[in-house]
Amino acid sequence: MAERDELLILRAQKGDAGAFETLMAQYEKKIFNVALRTMRNREDAADMAQDAIVKIYRNLASFKGDCSFGAWAYRITLNTCLDELRRQKKRPAVSFDDMTEEGKMQFEDNSEKPEESLERKELAAVINAAIASLETDYRVAVTLRDVQGLSYQEIADATRTSLGTVKSRINRARAQLQKKILPYRERFQ
């Protein structure tokens, strides 16, 4: 763990709100991305990321440094999301925004040609759909590794699973993704 993080954690544990804000500024984007990949929609992800940050703040005193602060924060985020997914299974709901994309504003990047922009968006949609279709354990593992760049050990710490299980999940997730994306290969050369 970086010395700067250690100092911020110690100060935040003593009640320094500014230190906590500085610490969270380093991790909030990654926390949101973990939540987004787990929840599969931006609104729920934003809610879960916010809930996770509140839980991190409330439980900061229990952080002992056995693992990196990032892995600890991602584990809280992941658990927050998984708890919500379990609650949603008990009471399924459909978002109007999920049914129609008209409710979401998207801005074009004018620096690329329209056909390049469309191709990039189509490829991103194929990849996101492939990731979203994975089982939760596989989706979380491959997201933490390939999107967030966490080490295998950090993923094991964050998900509270063995290193072998993490490696297996990532390997299986990548194999499934390859099969799902393979039919589109020629289209996006």
Checking 123-131 for CB contacts under 8 A at 24+ apart, the result is: 123/184, 123/188, 126/181, 126/184, 126/188, 127/177, 127/181, 129/180, 130/176, 130/177, 130/180, 130/181, 131/37, 131/177
**pTM attached to this predicted model:** 0.61
Tens of each residue's pLDDT in the chain, 189 residues: 577 888 999 999 999 999 999 999 999 999 999 999 899 889 999 999 999 999 999 999 999 888 889 999 999 999 999 989 888 887 655 554 554 454 444 544 456 677 777 777 887 888 888 888 999 899 989 988 888 888 899 899 888 899 999 999 999 999 998 898 888 777 766
List all residues 6 or more positions away from 176 whose beta carbon is below 8 Å from its beta carbon: 130, 134, 138
Which residue from 159, 182, 183 is spatially nearest to 169, judged by alpha carbons? Answer: 159
List all residues 6 or more positions away from 70 whose beta carbon is below 8 Å from its beta carbon: 27, 30, 150, 154
